[in-house]
A and B are shown apart, each in its own frame.
Chain A
Amino acid sequence: MATIKEYLLSGLRPSIAIREVAKSRGELSSKELIMLLDEELNGIPPTVANAIANWNRKSGSMQKCAGLNDLQFDDAVWGDLNAAIARL
């Protein structure tokens, strides 16, 4: 199974990369995703954990939804995810 790092380095947006990771492991819950990223990144940045907690994965890229849509989620985590991967 590919890791979040491999998906991101292949050029996928974080929302798509994380969805792929969640799907490949049997549709992980948000809490399970946070734990997985914490493990894969040797510590998940709190900003990423908070964004996942606020991410409405059912919304897709809808502009208005409860929580963050995909585009807002990508904006929230992209920089910190790349920095975390660079530190690995």
Chain B
Amino acid sequence: MLSYQIGNPTPDDLAHGLWAYVDANGQLSFTVRAGGDSEALATFGSGRDMFDSLMLRLNNDNVNVSSIQGQWYFNTDGVNAAQYQSAIESGLSPSDAAFSTWTGSQVMRYGFNFVTVPEAQGGIIKPVFQQVQGETNGDH
């Protein structure tokens, strides 16, 4: 498993950074948190900055990312789960709701245009984003 780190996203530490893992199948999973102070923001950048840095580094390392798995925790301060839940409650499909999140909008910029959203289990939902030609989301 390949791993990458920017800063330290752990909430009881710096609370600002990104950790990412790519498994043997090319599935990328990552945690990003941008809750640090102005110094952390100046040093490591915003969440989007850190995600872009990760994608650039993966490209430079010739790492082929076949899919991106989210891991979103309900009833926490996690942004994605709250955005997903809000979108579902407003009537969006699970796929459209997944793309309406912070992570969904980031991965869409890199061509990950299809998502599979399994049922949430134990307060966690794990959508998997992929690049599929001719698709706009996973509702087809």
| Interface set of A (CB-CB < 8 Å, partner B) | 29-31, 34, 38, 43-44, 46-47, 49-59, 65-68, 72, 75-76, 79
Contacts and interface: CB of A to CB of B under 8 A. Distances in A.
Given A47-B71, A50-B29, A75-B123, A67 B77 contact: yes
Contacts of A54: 9-11, 31, 33, 73, 76, 78
Contact of A43 (B1, B69, B78, B126): B1
Interface residues of B, number: 30
Contact of A46 (B13, B29, B123): B29
Nearest to B77: A66
A58 B71 CA distance: 21
Given A44-B1, A50-B71, A51-B71, A59 B29 contact: no
A66 B5 contact: no
B72 to A, nearest CB: 10
A30 to B, nearest CB: 4
Chain A interface mostly helix, strand, loop or mixed? Answer: helix
A56 B122 contact: no
B16 to A, nearest CB: 12
B127 to A, nearest CB: 13
B12 A56 contact: yes
Nearest to B31: A53
Given A53-B19, A67-B77, A72-B76, A30 B1 contact: no
B63 interface: no
A43 B76 CA distance: 27
A25 to B, nearest CB: 17
